[in-house]
Protein backbone atom coordinates (compact mmCIF):
# COMPACT_ATOMS: atom_id res chain seq x y z
CA UNK A 1 0.00 0.00 0.00
CA UNK A 2 2.73 2.57 0.85
CA UNK A 3 4.48 1.87 -2.42
CA UNK A 4 1.20 2.41 -4.26
CA UNK A 5 0.74 5.79 -2.58
CA UNK A 6 4.28 6.79 -3.49
CA UNK A 7 3.62 5.84 -7.09
CA UNK A 8 0.52 8.01 -7.14
CA UNK A 9 2.41 10.95 -5.63
CA UNK A 10 5.24 10.48 -8.13
CA UNK A 11 2.78 10.40 -11.03
CA UNK A 12 1.16 13.60 -9.79
CA UNK A 13 4.55 15.29 -9.54
CA UNK A 14 5.36 14.27 -13.11
CA UNK A 15 1.98 15.52 -14.34
CA UNK A 16 2.44 18.87 -12.63
CA UNK A 17 5.90 19.15 -14.06
CA UNK A 18 4.64 18.44 -17.54
CA UNK A 19 1.89 21.03 -17.05
CA UNK A 20 4.40 23.63 -15.90
CA UNK A 21 6.67 22.86 -18.83
CA UNK A 22 3.72 23.27 -21.16
CA UNK A 23 2.89 26.62 -19.67
CA UNK A 24 6.48 27.79 -19.91
CA UNK A 25 6.51 26.92 -23.62
CA UNK A 26 3.71 29.41 -24.39
CA UNK A 27 5.09 31.91 -26.93
CA UNK A 28 5.99 35.21 -25.37
CA UNK A 29 4.41 38.33 -26.82
CA UNK A 30 7.36 40.28 -28.28
CA UNK A 31 5.37 43.53 -28.09
CA UNK A 32 5.09 43.39 -24.32
CA UNK A 33 6.31 46.71 -23.00
CA UNK A 34 6.29 48.37 -26.43
CA UNK A 35 4.77 51.83 -26.72
CA UNK A 36 1.88 52.32 -29.21
CA UNK A 37 4.21 54.34 -31.43
CA UNK A 38 6.73 51.50 -31.55
CA UNK A 39 4.03 48.97 -32.41
CA UNK A 40 2.82 51.23 -35.20
CA UNK A 41 6.33 51.73 -36.56
CA UNK A 42 6.93 47.97 -36.61
CA UNK A 43 3.56 47.31 -38.25
CA UNK A 44 4.27 49.89 -40.96
CA UNK A 45 7.67 48.34 -41.61
CA UNK A 46 6.04 44.93 -42.10
CA UNK A 47 3.38 46.48 -44.32
CA UNK A 48 5.90 48.32 -46.48
CA UNK A 49 7.99 45.19 -47.00
CA UNK A 50 4.97 43.12 -48.01
CA UNK A 51 4.80 41.03 -44.84
CA UNK A 52 1.05 41.51 -44.56
CA UNK A 53 0.53 38.42 -42.38
CA UNK A 54 2.80 40.02 -39.78
CA UNK A 55 1.44 43.54 -40.18
CA UNK A 56 -2.21 42.63 -39.52
CA UNK A 57 -1.75 41.23 -35.96
CA UNK A 58 0.43 44.21 -35.04
CA UNK A 59 -2.27 46.62 -36.17
CA UNK A 60 -4.79 44.61 -34.16
CA UNK A 61 -2.65 44.88 -31.04
CA UNK A 62 -2.37 48.60 -31.61
CA UNK A 63 -6.15 48.94 -31.89
CA UNK A 64 -6.46 47.49 -28.40
CA UNK A 65 -3.59 49.32 -26.72
CA UNK A 66 -4.31 52.72 -28.23
CA UNK A 67 -8.11 52.45 -28.15
CA UNK A 68 -9.88 55.79 -28.46
CA UNK A 69 -6.93 57.56 -30.05
CA UNK A 70 -6.27 58.71 -33.64
CA UNK A 71 -3.47 56.13 -33.79
CA UNK A 72 -5.98 53.33 -33.23
CA UNK A 73 -8.12 54.69 -36.06
CA UNK A 74 -5.09 54.79 -38.33
CA UNK A 75 -4.32 51.20 -37.36
CA UNK A 76 -7.78 50.11 -38.56
CA UNK A 77 -7.31 51.83 -41.91
CA UNK A 78 -3.85 50.35 -42.36
CA UNK A 79 -5.11 46.90 -41.37
CA UNK A 80 -7.77 47.13 -44.08
CA UNK A 81 -5.09 48.03 -46.61
CA UNK A 82 -2.95 45.10 -45.44
CA UNK A 83 -5.88 42.71 -45.92
CA UNK A 84 -6.43 44.13 -49.39
CA UNK A 85 -2.79 43.71 -50.40
CA UNK A 86 -2.80 40.20 -48.97
CA UNK A 87 -5.62 39.24 -51.35
CA UNK A 88 -8.32 39.25 -48.67
CA UNK A 89 -10.88 41.75 -50.03
CA UNK A 90 -13.76 40.53 -47.86
CA UNK A 91 -11.76 41.10 -44.66
CA UNK A 92 -10.56 44.48 -45.94
CA UNK A 93 -14.09 45.67 -46.68
CA UNK A 94 -15.40 44.36 -43.36
CA UNK A 95 -12.65 46.31 -41.58
CA UNK A 96 -13.49 49.49 -43.50
CA UNK A 97 -17.22 49.14 -42.80
CA UNK A 98 -16.49 48.72 -39.10
CA UNK A 99 -14.18 51.75 -39.16
CA UNK A 100 -16.79 53.97 -40.83
CA UNK A 101 -19.49 52.81 -38.42
CA UNK A 102 -17.37 53.47 -35.34
CA UNK A 103 -15.81 56.72 -36.55
CA UNK A 104 -18.31 58.52 -38.80
CA UNK A 105 -16.66 61.90 -38.18
CA UNK A 106 -13.09 60.75 -38.79
CA UNK A 107 -11.06 62.89 -41.22
CA UNK A 108 -10.07 59.63 -42.92
CA UNK A 109 -13.62 58.73 -44.02
CA UNK A 110 -12.91 59.94 -47.56
CA UNK A 111 -9.91 57.64 -47.82
CA UNK A 112 -11.91 54.74 -46.36
CA UNK A 113 -14.56 55.21 -49.05
CA UNK A 114 -11.89 55.49 -51.72
CA UNK A 115 -10.10 52.35 -50.56
CA UNK A 116 -13.38 50.45 -50.42
CA UNK A 117 -14.10 51.54 -53.99
CA UNK A 118 -10.63 50.50 -55.13
CA UNK A 119 -10.95 47.07 -53.52
CA UNK A 120 -14.19 46.32 -55.35
CA UNK A 121 -12.90 47.93 -58.53
CA UNK A 122 -9.84 45.70 -58.57
CA UNK A 123 -11.92 42.67 -57.65
CA UNK A 124 -14.02 43.37 -60.71
CA UNK A 125 -10.94 43.68 -62.92
CA UNK A 126 -9.62 40.31 -61.86
CA UNK A 127 -6.00 39.22 -61.69
CA UNK A 128 -5.89 37.38 -65.01
CA UNK A 129 -8.33 39.36 -67.16
CA UNK A 130 -5.51 40.77 -69.25
CA UNK A 131 -4.16 37.30 -69.95
CA UNK A 132 -7.48 35.68 -70.74
CA UNK A 133 -8.74 38.76 -72.63
CA UNK A 134 -12.02 38.41 -70.80
CA UNK A 135 -14.21 41.48 -71.16
CA UNK A 136 -15.18 42.95 -67.79
CA UNK A 137 -18.75 43.29 -68.99
CA UNK A 138 -18.95 39.53 -69.43
CA UNK A 139 -18.66 38.89 -65.69
CA UNK A 140 -20.71 39.50 -62.58
CA UNK A 141 -21.18 43.25 -62.12
CA UNK A 142 -21.88 43.27 -58.36
CA UNK A 143 -18.36 44.36 -57.48
CA UNK A 144 -18.51 47.12 -60.10
CA UNK A 145 -21.79 48.41 -58.70
CA UNK A 146 -20.48 48.32 -55.12
CA UNK A 147 -17.35 50.13 -56.25
CA UNK A 148 -19.43 52.80 -58.01
CA UNK A 149 -21.52 53.42 -54.87
CA UNK A 150 -18.40 53.93 -52.74
CA UNK A 151 -16.88 56.35 -55.25
CA UNK A 152 -20.21 58.15 -55.63
CA UNK A 153 -20.52 58.65 -51.87
CA UNK A 154 -16.94 59.92 -51.75
CA UNK A 155 -17.47 62.45 -54.55
CA UNK A 156 -20.82 63.58 -53.15
CA UNK A 157 -19.75 63.99 -49.53
CA UNK A 158 -16.17 65.09 -50.09
CA UNK A 159 -15.98 66.89 -53.47
CA UNK A 160 -12.71 68.58 -52.46
CA UNK A 161 -11.02 65.37 -51.36
CA UNK A 162 -7.70 64.58 -52.97
CA UNK A 163 -9.23 61.23 -53.95
CA UNK A 164 -12.30 62.72 -55.68
CA UNK A 165 -10.80 63.24 -59.17
CA UNK A 166 -9.61 59.65 -59.49
CA UNK A 167 -12.89 58.38 -58.05
CA UNK A 168 -14.80 60.34 -60.71
CA UNK A 169 -12.69 58.84 -63.48
CA UNK A 170 -13.28 55.35 -62.18
CA UNK A 171 -17.01 56.01 -61.92
CA UNK A 172 -17.08 56.87 -65.63
CA UNK A 173 -15.23 53.66 -66.40
CA UNK A 174 -17.62 51.61 -64.28
CA UNK A 175 -20.66 53.12 -66.01
CA UNK A 176 -19.15 52.07 -69.33
CA UNK A 177 -18.60 48.58 -67.94
CA UNK A 178 -22.18 48.27 -66.72
CA UNK A 179 -23.57 49.51 -70.02
CA UNK A 180 -21.34 47.13 -71.94
CA UNK A 181 -22.60 44.33 -69.73
CA UNK A 182 -26.12 44.95 -70.97
CA UNK A 183 -24.87 45.08 -74.56
CA UNK A 184 -22.96 41.84 -74.13
CA UNK A 185 -26.16 40.08 -73.03
CA UNK A 186 -28.13 41.74 -75.83
CA UNK A 187 -25.57 40.50 -78.39
CA UNK A 188 -25.77 37.01 -76.89
CA UNK A 189 -29.55 36.94 -77.32
CA UNK A 190 -29.38 38.38 -80.84
CA UNK A 191 -26.86 35.80 -82.02
CA UNK A 192 -29.19 33.06 -80.77
CA UNK A 193 -32.28 34.47 -82.44
CA UNK A 194 -33.93 35.73 -79.25
CA UNK A 195 -34.64 39.11 -80.80
CA UNK A 196 -37.17 40.45 -78.30
CA UNK A 197 -34.83 39.67 -75.42
CA UNK A 198 -31.99 41.33 -77.33
CA UNK A 199 -34.09 44.46 -77.84
CA UNK A 200 -35.00 44.63 -74.15
CA UNK A 201 -31.39 44.47 -72.99
CA UNK A 202 -30.21 46.92 -75.65
CA UNK A 203 -32.95 49.35 -74.61
CA UNK A 204 -31.75 49.09 -71.00
CA UNK A 205 -28.26 50.16 -72.08
CA UNK A 206 -29.68 53.11 -74.05
CA UNK A 207 -32.10 54.19 -71.33
CA UNK A 208 -29.98 53.76 -68.19
CA UNK A 209 -26.50 54.71 -69.40
CA UNK A 210 -26.77 57.90 -71.41
CA UNK A 211 -23.80 59.04 -73.46
CA UNK A 212 -21.58 55.99 -73.04
CA UNK A 213 -19.74 54.33 -75.98
CA UNK A 214 -21.71 51.10 -75.55
CA UNK A 215 -24.86 52.85 -76.76
CA UNK A 216 -23.65 52.70 -80.34
CA UNK A 217 -23.66 48.92 -80.42
CA UNK A 218 -26.89 48.81 -78.39
CA UNK A 219 -28.66 50.84 -81.07
CA UNK A 220 -27.20 48.66 -83.80
CA UNK A 221 -28.51 45.54 -82.05
CA UNK A 222 -31.94 47.16 -81.93
CA UNK A 223 -31.76 47.92 -85.67
CA UNK A 224 -30.81 44.34 -86.52
CA UNK A 225 -33.32 42.78 -84.12
CA UNK A 226 -36.25 44.86 -85.34
CA UNK A 227 -35.23 44.02 -88.90
CA UNK A 228 -35.17 40.31 -88.10
CA UNK A 229 -38.67 40.61 -86.65
CA UNK A 230 -39.94 42.48 -89.71
CA UNK A 231 -40.70 45.59 -87.63
CA UNK A 232 -39.54 48.09 -90.23
CA UNK A 233 -40.85 51.27 -88.57
CA UNK A 234 -39.04 50.59 -85.29
CA UNK A 235 -35.97 49.47 -87.24
CA UNK A 236 -35.89 52.76 -89.15
CA UNK A 237 -36.42 54.79 -85.97
CA UNK A 238 -33.50 53.01 -84.27
CA UNK A 239 -31.28 53.49 -87.33
CA UNK A 240 -32.15 57.17 -87.47
CA UNK A 241 -31.14 57.60 -83.81
CA UNK A 242 -27.96 55.60 -84.41
CA UNK A 243 -26.82 57.69 -87.38
CA UNK A 244 -27.79 60.94 -85.66
CA UNK A 245 -25.76 60.20 -82.54
CA UNK A 246 -22.95 58.33 -84.29
CA UNK A 247 -22.67 59.76 -87.82
CA UNK A 248 -19.35 57.95 -88.38
CA UNK A 249 -20.63 54.59 -87.17
CA UNK A 250 -19.12 51.55 -88.86
CA UNK A 251 -21.72 49.13 -87.55
CA UNK A 252 -24.15 49.56 -90.44
CA UNK A 253 -21.46 48.78 -92.99
CA UNK A 254 -19.20 46.39 -91.08
CA UNK A 255 -21.41 44.75 -88.48
CA UNK A 256 -20.23 43.78 -85.02
CA UNK A 257 -16.73 44.80 -84.00
CA UNK A 258 -13.97 42.25 -83.56
CA UNK A 259 -13.75 40.80 -80.06
CA UNK A 260 -9.95 40.66 -80.24
CA UNK A 261 -9.48 44.06 -78.65
CA UNK A 262 -11.74 44.51 -75.60
CA UNK A 263 -13.12 48.04 -75.22
CA UNK A 264 -11.83 48.29 -71.64
CA UNK A 265 -8.20 48.12 -72.81
CA UNK A 266 -8.39 51.91 -73.18
CA UNK A 267 -8.27 52.19 -69.38
Residue pair 36/62 in contact (Cβ under 8 Å)? The answer is yes
How many domains would you assign to the chain?
2
Say whether both 66 and 134 belong to one domain: yes
Nearest to 47 by CA among 86, 97, 91: 86
The residue-averaged pLDDT of 192-217 equals 93
Q: What is the CATH number of the domain that holds 108?
A: 1.25.40.10
Cα radius of gyration (the chain):
29
Residue 13 lies in a domain: no
Say whether both 141 and 212 belong to one domain: no
- For the purposes of burial, counting CB atoms within 10 Å of the CB of 127, is it exposed (0-12), middle (13-18) or buried (19 or more)? exposed
Say whether both 114 and 236 belong to one domain: no
pLDDT of 4:
47
Say whether both 54 and 163 belong to one domain: yes
161-183 residue pLDDT tens: 999 999 999 999 999 888 988 99
2-34 residue pLDDT tens: 554 545 445 554 555 545 454 545 567 778 889
Say whether both 94 and 198 belong to one domain: no
Amino acid sequence: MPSFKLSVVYACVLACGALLNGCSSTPKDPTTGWSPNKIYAEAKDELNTGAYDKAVPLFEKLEGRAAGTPLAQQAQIDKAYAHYKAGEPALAIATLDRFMKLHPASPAIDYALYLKGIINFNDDLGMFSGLTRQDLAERDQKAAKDSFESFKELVTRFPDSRYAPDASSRMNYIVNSLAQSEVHVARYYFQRGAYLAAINRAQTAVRDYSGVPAQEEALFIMVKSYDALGMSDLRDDSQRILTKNYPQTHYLSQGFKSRNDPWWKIW
